[in-house]
Amino acid sequence: MKFKIACLIMLLPSAIIFAQECRYVFKGQVVDFHDKSPLAEASIFINQIGRSAVTDAQGNFEFEEMCPGTYQIQAAHSGCQTLFLEVEISGDTYTEILLEHHRVELEEVRVFGAPLADKTISAIEQSLEEETLEQFSGASLGDALKTISGVSSLNTGANIVKPAIHGLNGSRVLILNDGVRMQDMEWGDEHAPNVDLNAANSVTVIKGASALKYGGDAIGGVILLEQKNLAVKDTLFGKTLLTGLTNGRGGTITSELNKSFHSGLYLKGQASFKRLGDAEAPDYILSNTGISEVGASFQLGRKQLAWGWDVRYAFYNAEIAILRSSHIGNIDDLIRSINSGEPEIIRDFTYDLQNPRQEVTHHLAKAKIYRRFEGLGRLNVQYDFQNNRRFEYDVRRGERDDTPSIDLELQTHTLTTDFKLDANERYELQFGLLGRYQDNFANPATGVRRLIPDYQKYDLGSFITGEYFLSELWTLEAGLRYDFNRIDAQKFYRVSRWEERGYDQDFADIIVEDLGTQYLTNPVFNYHNISVSAGVAYKDEDQNFRFNYALSQRAPNPSELFSDGLHHSAARIELGDLRIDQETSHKFSFSFEKDFDYWGFTIEPYANFIQDFVLLEPTGVEFTLRGAFPVWSFRQTDARLLGVDVSAYVDYTQNWRSDHRFSLVKGNDTDTDIPLINIPAANIVNQISYTQLDWHNFEISLESQYVFRQNETPDDIIVFSPDQQQNVLLEINTAPEAYHLLNLNSSMSFPLGGRTQLTTSLSVNNLLDTSFRDYLNRQRFFADDLGRNIILQLKLNY
């Protein structure tokens, strides 16, 4: 009894002190970081003691009877990122909590029934979700993008796929990889983007040049590859995909791991590998069409409300074999290939990558920092470096078989900064600056004449864009951009070519040294480019309307100016023109999207009028020491592209759905009233899908793809055949026949315990093993396209 009394006496002072100290008041206000407006109905939670409160209409909250100490506070609000902070209480305490409550940026937008993307307000935009990109893990970026209406591709076989938007490709289509504009010699028809599709978590296509903050020369459009936006919390997750393909008898494996912390620190690692042997047409092996591809990236950063930083390194290497029969030795080889209907060289299947082939390596490194200013906006500063190395191997004899015919190294340094004023609910303004230096080295130790010379390129740019919110439904958008480009080259010309092109009359002042049979020249060109965009958007619950006008200018690329000689991987002579000037595009685009209870549609007509449009077309034949080759020359003209993309869906029941797409574009040389070369044919895609979520998320779909014959092509050319000793018609522009393909896709998911889930999918492309040739595949002269391809994929999420 005495012991109990003693304990009570000892504890009594502590209880009195405790009761006296737990009398403090902790209160505060939750406001928007941007404009300091109060946030009602925000939740405030104190972790240690399990107490919570909800803010009133003025954003105020209050906790009474608080004890002294340090507390972990969690603040959350709808549309905001949850904030974690520490508060020390040693008396009555007041705290202002800043949350970022603003218009949410939509990172992924479905084609139908989804909100507008806000990379721009009035431009036509569509995106691919991560699940769609995973279906193309064993394919390429260009293959995945063709699932978007209005996007096609210019192919060199199955592994070199260049995206085309509204009939335009190459330098007219900008590709940004995690905010870095790719600099990878995109000017070549057979130069695919040097990106690992498996490293991207979403891809957005902006059709046209209205997104001025990315560049003013995107006459075709912009492709944005973006990374996952990780939450500010302790989490660890990843995935591994294993894909097997029967056509090529190989596959890919890719894996990524993501880690983030409450402090805002995050990191991501990713790697992928692809290996395929010879592809197969329905009736024969496409000899020497394998590929070996490796990609890896690492990202580290810290994301907080007021500031943050991000660094990323990405590596990409691809060795791509080119169809052996496509490598012609002279013009008669090309005539025989076009007339015969099947490749001249058919060998047994192999994984060997023989000549002709390409090997490209791309390094990308970037560092970015941002700082948010209360009641004002956000400042971004980014530096990035890229190194692109390209080897092109010809079929050569003797010791030089392993010596590349083209050896180019392109190094690019870019510094950008922009500031976004977004504190006002009525409008937003963004302005930025860009500086870029680029150096191209063409190794002369190849033993052949250099197609592209050494050059240095300087770019300076500035832009301002604005959005004005007329109401909850109507938004105006406008922008202005100026770019300065300078190209400083060192180029050798044979005297005969110099005089044949008439350069002796127009460019005599750029000759640096007369070497007898050739001149060393120093062409320096400056270009001043203006871009303007203006548009309006209307959006309510079930319909969207967008209209945009974009004026854009594009300076010529080095290939258009300086090409001079045999392009070995293309097996043709390419001739640039020093007189080529910048292009000017006027594009009008319109989009209307309507959703009903069980169905909806989108219609997107557009018109693009381009002054001084640069095109590459066959013009004749030239004889070399290796034989006679077709000559493709660059020239400028005025062009008109008119088109429309139509999409629709129908939800018949909870389980059955159909999707439909139609695209048509017509391109004309308005100076000569003849069709433009390499304009995609009209195509229509219909898909019927069945989904049963109770059956382990079972999905199955059958897709029908019909591609019409392209009847509007330039005239074929007359060439001299050394074998026949006479002029013959070379049907180099004639398009192949229309074709129809069926594709099957299915998938199921199985939980493996905890957060781990296995997803299996089975796809069959060209289900009926149809023989066909596509007008935009440069190997259509030599062989059929791919036959049936069965694809099995296993995906493990953990």
pLDDT tens for residues 98-134? 887 654 433 333 333 333 345 788 888 999 989 899 9
The residue with tokens 């400042």 is: 379
Start-end of H helices in 350-432: none
User: What is the CATH number for 694?
Assistant: 2.40.170.20
Residue 35 resides in a domain = yes
Residue ending a domain, choose from 222, 255, 284: 222
Q: Residue 739 forms beta bridges with which residues? A: 707
Domain count, the chain: 3
Average pLDDT over residues 213-240: 92
> CA 436, 440, 443: angle at the middle one, nearest 5?
165
CA separation for the pair 441, 215 (Å, rounded):
25
The residue count of the chain comes to 798
Which of the residue ranges 27-36, 309-318, 457-466, 643-652 would you say has the lowest mean pLDDT? 27-36
User: What is the CATH number for 187?
Assistant: 2.170.130.10
Residue 591, Cβ neighbours under 10 Å: how many? Answer: 23
pLDDT confidence tier of residue 138, bands split at 50, 70 and 90: very high
CA separation for the pair 774, 557 (Å, rounded):
27
Residue 350 has pLDDT above 70, yes or no: yes
Residue 231 resides in a domain = yes
Per the omega criterion (within 30 degrees of 0), is the bond before 356 cis?
A: yes
Phi, psi of 303 (to 5 degrees): -120, 115
**Which DSSP string do the residues of 525-576 spell out, in sequence order?**
EEEEEEEEEEEEEEE-SSEEEEEEEEEEEEPPPHHHHH-EEEEGGGTEEEE-
pLDDT tens for residues 267-295? 999 999 999 999 999 999 999 999 999 99
pLDDT confidence tier of residue 81, bands split at 50, 70 and 90: confident
Residue ending a domain, choose from 170, 188, 222: 222
Residues 41 and 123 both lie in one domain: no
User: Cα 159 to chain center, whole Å?
Assistant: 17
Please, how many CA atoms are within 13 Å of residue 42, restricted to the half-sphere of its CB? 33
Residue 108 resides in a domain = no
Residue ending a domain, choose from 71, 99, 127: 99
**Pairing verdict, β 173-177 and 221-226:** parallel
Residues 142 and 155 both lie in one domain: yes
Average pLDDT over residues 369-385: 93
Residues 198 and 248 both lie in one domain: no
Q: Residue 466 forms beta bridges with which residues? A: 429, 478
Residues 174 and 243 both lie in one domain: no
User: What is the CATH number for 28?
Assistant: 2.60.40.1120
Start-end of H helices in 41-162: 130-135, 141-145
Residues 132 and 85 both lie in one domain: no
Residue 764 vs residues 43, 593, 741, 792: alpha-carbon distances, Å: 50, 32, 11, 9
Average pLDDT, the chain: 90
Which of the residue ranges 138-142, 286-290, 486-490, 731-735 would you say has the lowest mean pLDDT? 731-735
Residues 212 and 229 both lie in one domain: no
CA separation for the pair 457, 181 (Å, rounded):
15
Could you say which DSSP state residue 236 is in? E
Residue 121 resides in a domain = yes
Residue 207 resides in a domain = yes
Q: What pLDDT is stored for residue 625 in this prediction? A: 67
Residue 464 has pLDDT above 80, yes or no: yes
Residues 9 and 126 both lie in one domain: no
- The domain in which residue 666 lies consists of 223-797
Residues 213 and 264 both lie in one domain: no
Residue 8 resides in a domain = yes
Residues 214 and 247 both lie in one domain: no
Which run of H or E residues covers position 10? helix 2-21
pLDDT confidence tier of residue 32, bands split at 50, 70 and 90: confident
Q: What pLDDT is stored for residue 567 in this prediction? A: 77
Residues 674 and 596 both lie in one domain: yes
Residue 426 resides in a domain = yes
Residue 111 resides in a domain = no
Residues 81 and 195 both lie in one domain: no
Exposed / middle / buried, residue 737 (Cβ in 10 Å: 0-12, 13-18, 19+): exposed
Q: Are 276 and 290 in contact (CB under 8 A)?
A: yes
Residue 749, Cβ neighbours under 10 Å: how many? Answer: 17
Instruction: Read off the pTM.
Output: 0.89
pLDDT tens for residues 746-772? 999 999 988 899 999 999 999 999 999
Residues 311 and 418 both lie in one domain: yes
